[in-house]
Amino acid sequence: MRGIICFPLAPFTEDDQLDLAALERDVDELLRHPFCAINAPAGISEIFSLDVEEAVAIVRKTVELVRGRMPVIGSVCFNTPLARAMARGMEEAGADALLVLPPYYVQPAEEGLLAYYRRIGETCGLPLIIYSRGWAAFTPDQVARLAETVPTLEMWKDGQADGRTLQRIMAKVGDRLVWIGGAGDDCGAVYAGIGIRAFTSSVSAILPRLALAWGEAALAGDFDRLNSLLARYVHPLFALRGRKRGYEVAVMKKAAELVGRPCGRPRPPIPELSPAEVKELERWLASCAEFA
């Protein structure tokens, strides 16, 4: 796993139904670019707003369209029974790996969390990627125990943006796991600086060429170009995304509409942007004209 992992957004119709025709349009657009994998659905794809059947349908459609050109990563979450149902369905649909998001129960005892990941791993034969985000922060020893307890655990996606702790985890576990930088495009320089070579990019959903440009700079160790791209284009976008909880999704869905690939409104409880913020987003997209 080396390069940029891309995301399509989860498109909905006006009556809030999953829009697989729009998904097909967006996946076809992503397939025009040399991403190293596609993660559908994921957090940016509103995985928490989908039911099991919808999540599996997105994986099935994505696999159908990709036709083996890059790995397809599904995502599972919520609780053990629902995550296992998603895992079974996504394996049958042809997924190549599963991203496992934290469970609904916040900060459980360590043995309960180990059981959550182990039981999902026992459900199917797909490689697992644990996504460390929010409250699901781990010590180096805990990650080492997870690697010992869950044989199918093959990758680790960081969503904490804590470079100090992540370096200690990587030093402890070594090449037992593949490391993925996943806190956001704006953390690309931090991840590249500590030796990570696979990155997720929500920017890929709207401006694939911008995502690939910073990814290429990161892989080449060209920190002058990488930091220039992040400062000029990525940081302003993430400042808007960070303005309100849920805007990490709402901003990207509105941006997709503004670049001519509408995918409907986000499902509640994700809020929508104000008219003034839409104008701000329009100005940002105009500043990115070279990557349109």
- What is the spatial distance between Cα 74 and Cα 153, in angstroms, rounded to a whole number? 14
Rounded to whole angstroms, how far apart are CA atoms 120 and 76?
Answer: 9
| 8 A C-beta contact, residue 99 and residue 76 | yes
Residue 267 lies in a domain: no
For residue 57, the enclosing domain spans 3-220
Is 47 part of any domain? yes
d(CA 77, CA 13): 24
Q: What is the pLDDT of residue 106?
A: 94
Residue 257 belongs to a domain: no
pTM of the model: 0.97
Residue 23 pLDDT: 98
The whole-angstrom separation of Cα 139 and Cα 34 is 34
Domain contains 256: no
Could you tell me the mean pLDDT of each successive run of 10 residues in the chain, 292 residues long? 97 96 97 98 96 98 98 97 98 98 96 97 97 97 97 98 97 98 98 98 98 98 98 98 97 98 96 98 98 96
Cα gap 175→203, rounded to integer Å: 28
Residue 63 has a pLDDT of 98
Whether 104 is covered by a domain: the verdict is yes
- Assigned domain for 157 exists: yes
Predicted local distance difference test score (pLDDT) of residue 51: 97
> Does 251 fall in a domain?
no
Say which residue the tokens 């911008």 belong to: 210
CATH number at residue 102: 3.20.20.70
- Asked whether residue 236 is assigned to any structural domain, the reply reads no
So what's the pLDDT on residue 261? 96
How many domains does the chain divide into?
A: 1
| Paired tokens of 21 | 């025709």
Q: Which residues contact 167 (CB under 8 A, 6 or more apart)?
A: 194
